Amino acid sequence: MAKRDYYEVLGVSKSSSPEEIKKAYRKLAIQFHPDKNPDNPEAEEKFKEAAEAYEVLSNQEKRQRYDQFGHQGLGGNGGYSGGGMNMEDIFSQFGDIFGGGGFESFFGGGRGGRRTKKGTNLRVKLKLNLKEIANGVEKKIKVKRQIIADGVTFKTCPSCQGAGQIKKVVNTMLGQMVSASTCPTCGGNGQIVDKRPAEADLRGLILKEEVISINIPAGVADGMQLSMSGKGNETAGGIAGDLLIVIEEIEDEILQRDGNNVVFDLYVSFIDVALGSQIEVPTIDGKVKIKLDPGTQSGKILRLKGKGIRDINGYNRGDQLIHVNVWTPKQLSKEERQILEDLRDSENFKPDPGKSEKSFFDKMKEFF
């Protein structure tokens, strides 16, 4: 099933302020919270959908990418984030959306008062050439990440007895009130390391190199960031962080990218354009032959339909634009000079642009 638009999910417009987006999410979170809708899968899915939308629209960088590229701009397929959040992610990341106490205090501690800790994220740069960007590619990269060592065991935190919070009773003029804060011993996990192997650190973690396969969708752009959920550092008693993949586009020596179009500067001789010719030109998918009609003017732009870059939001592809440049030799032999001198006074060789000839500015408007 296709994802719904995040603005539609939260019931806000694209011009909504961060405060309006937060308010809309808060309203939906209250309405569909699992503690208010026990054993209601539909409500739980709407709760997750709202949290996923808020995760993107509350982050300025992600919101800008989403506005420009849609769901695919966030890596919405192939295992990246945006493919549906789990409940642990939601309560870990957005537990403070209601102010000081989080979801638990707002709904009377229905979820036991514990917040799941999340491991730190990892960030890597991935270099891609123009062909890989145009068609999409699967890459395997080596990543060093912290994981829980084999043989590590945990025990209930003695400070909070597994609750993840320390509660204090405070006497006020209105009577006794209970305040709760995250347990400093276990960090809110409710567990601490009991036994660990010698190679593990005090948190029970070791550094391990892993080979991770990444499916890069076609049409990504330089600087775009994709995310693989759960492929970051692990944490004792919690969930793993994410692996953030930053795209770095390798500049092609021949072809230039302009959005989803590809531009190629074709240099030809006066003879080629005067007599007409067939010329081989490079494209992303290999070389193709194009026909230059007799009388082709310098500056003409030819279009190869569908030879550009696939759109990240769909199945359409851009085009390849070929800019024809007539090359003027810088030096001539005596014989070549004489031939051209004989043609200098020919009426056929004198410039005579008609109204059908478009200016460079008109050509740019037409093609871009």
Indicate if the alpha-carbon torsion angle 196, 202, 207, 212 is positive or negative: positive
Dig out the tokens for 219 from the structure: 């049409």
Rounded to the nearest angstrom, the gap between the alpha carbon of residue 358 and the centroid of all alpha carbons in its chain is 40
Nearest to 233 by CA among 294, 108, 360, 143: 143
Instruction: Report the relative pairing of strands 205-216 and 286-292 from DSSP bridges.
Output: unpaired
Q: Is 186 annotated as a binding residue?
A: yes
Q: Is 249 annotated as a binding residue?
A: no
Length of the chain in terms of residues written = 368
Separation in Å, CA 357 to CA 64, 98, 209, 269 = 41, 65, 62, 20
Q: Check: CB of residue 11 under 8 Å from CB of residue 87.
A: no
Alpha-helical runs (H) found in the chain: 6-10, 18-32, 41-57, 60-69, 87-93, 102-106, 130-135, 270-275, 334-344, 360-367
CA pair distance 276, 270, nearest whole angstrom = 10
DSSP codes joined into one string, 278-347: EEEEEETTEEEEEEEPTTPPTT-EEEETT-SPBPTTSS-B--EEEEEEEEPPS---HHHHHHHHHHHT-G
Helix, strand or coil, per DSSP, at residue 129 = coil
Dig out the tokens for 279 from the structure: 């010329």
* Binding site as annotated, residues for Zn(2+): 157, 160, 183, 186
* Binding site as annotated, residues: 157, 160, 183, 186
